[in-house]
Structure 1
Amino acid sequence: MDELDRTILDILIDDARISLKELSQKVGLSSPSVSERLRRLEEKKIIRSFTVDIDPVALGYGLTAIVRIRPLPGMLHIVERLLQETPEITECDKVTGDDCFIGKLQFRSMEQLDSILDRIAEKAETNTSIVKSSPVKRRLPPLS
């Protein structure tokens, strides 16, 4: 990845909906050249997708929680499947340490949180923290 690829990525990070023509103008290359660079970045899996950033609050999900999850003996794969099938869990990592999973939940009310946690608690121990604010939003590591 060269400096021009990094510039293309910086522009796309700021606005993934930019037209190929406008992107080409910003980096000073022809549209076919930029298109070829984009194709190579996708082939190398540097660009995985072009996506939309939606605010959960605008959809009524005003609350966020971080949940540490420790499956009961013999329940690891069942809990993993349960987490994958729970749409309010918007992110989940399998981790080392005392817990097996750390999940991020978006929910509308404490009652909804209780309902989600009750389903998990049948198969795992949980420890939940409500998010007050996010001083560092999800971001990419440095491109250089």
Structure 2
Amino acid sequence: MQIDSINWAILESLQKNARESFSEIGRKVGLSSPAVAERVKKMEDAGVILSYRTKVSAHKTGYQLRAVITLKAFTGRLKAFLENIKNFKEVRNCYRITGNENIIMEVVLHDQLHLERLIDKLITYGETRTNIVLSNVIEDQPIQQRIL
């Protein structure tokens, strides 16, 4: 699917506020509400728009600690880790990466004891390295049209 400048403007609006009405987006991009709805539907069908989500504050829901953990899997343990990682409710994001480690995860935890229990589970799969997050510098940066 070709994403033209109008579709990019629609995507930028939806990434900032997925609940924004099609009529409001239409006012911004110079289209009618039905025309915006049709473009959004086409982008959904093409897999450009994957989902709509509610962003929840980890801190306000009792998760006071955020960390980034890398894992260097033991020989023969990576497959088992990949099969089980979805069962770790603390893991918000998990990426398979290149370099010395195989995995990098963003996790949210209640406290240091919770972190210790999670690490105890993870070390059955490999060697971990943990970094505590102090603050967010950029969070959920929207995907934007490249300017060449």
Task: Settle same-fold status: TM greater than 0.5.
Answer: yes
Tell me whether 1:142 sits opposite 2:144 in the alignment.
Answer: yes
Secondary structure at 2:37 match in 1:
helix
List alignment gaps of at least 5 residues for structure 2.
none
**Which amino acid in 2 is paired with 1:26?**
K
Task: Report the Cα distance in structure 1 between the residues aligned to 2:24 and 2:43, rounded to whole angstroms.
Answer: 18
Q: Percent of aligned positions with the same letter in both sequences?
A: 28
Q: 1:119 aligns with which of 113, 118, 121?
A: 121
The offset of 1:116, in angstroms, is 0.7
**Which amino acid in 2 is paired with 1:79?**
F
Task: Report the Cα distance in structure 2 between the residues aligned to 1:54 and 1:80, rounded to whole angstroms.
Answer: 25
2:72 is matched with 70
CA RMSD of aligned residues (A): 1.4
Counting matched residue pairs gives: 144
**Which amino acid in 2 is paired with 1:116?**
L
Task: Report the Cα distance in structure 1 between the residues aligned to 2:9 and 2:144, rounded to whole angstroms.
Answer: 12
Q: 2:22 aligns with which of 14, 20, 23?
A: 20
The offset of 1:142, in angstroms, is 2.8
Task: Report the Cα distance in structure 1 between the residues aligned to 2:28 and 2:14, rounded to whole angstroms.
Answer: 11
- Structure 1 consecutive aligned stretches of length 4 or more whose deviation exceeds 4 Å: none
List alignment gaps of at least 5 residues for structure 1.
none
- Map residues 73-84 of structure 1 onto 2, 5 A cutoff: 73-84=75-86
Give the conservation status (yes or no) of the 8 Å contact 1:82–1:120: no
| Worse overlay, 77-86 or 64-73 | 77-86
| Worse overlay, 25-34 or 76-85 | 25-34
**Which amino acid in 2 is paired with 1:62?**
Q
Task: Report the Cα distance in structure 1 between the residues aligned to 2:117 and 2:26, rounded to whole angstroms.
Answer: 50
**Which amino acid in 2 is paired with 1:94?**
R
**Which amino acid in 2 is paired with 1:114?**
E
Secondary structure at 2:121 match in 1:
helix
